[in-house]
Amino acid sequence: ANERDKSTAQSWVDETLAELAAGRSRDVLKRLRKELLRIRTDPLRSPDPAPALRRFIDYLDEHADSVAYDRYREAGWLIGSGRCESAHRYIPQARLKIPGATWSPMGGLDTTT
């Protein structure tokens, strides 16, 4: 792809992410469905011309309530922060490695030993 195509693609991605960040996932879905329909009606395309686009549409459709980023920010929640995204690496490890600790089958710290 040439630089102009890359620039156009990056602009599209940036605009789409801005719409999602503003809580307009339904608008994004509508536009993406229209684009998928246009691609599918192209006689030179394969039967499934845009599997990644179709998967993204399915994901947004299924998780529409999970991408309400505007509402999450208003509530003061972190969105995709490095701290949240990487916490799974550290928090369970720190808890499991407490010196001398044993764990009950129910998942809690067993203080009876």
First to last CA, the chain: 64
How far apart CA 110 and CA 104 sit, in angstroms, is 5
pTM for the complete prediction? 0.58
Residues 28/16, Cβ–Cβ less than 8 Å: yes
How confident is the prediction along the chain (113 residues), in pLDDT tens digits per residue?
A: 577 778 888 898 899 989 998 989 999 999 999 988 888 777 676 667 688 888 989 999 998 878 888 898 899 887 766 666 677 677 777 766 777 666 666 666 555 55
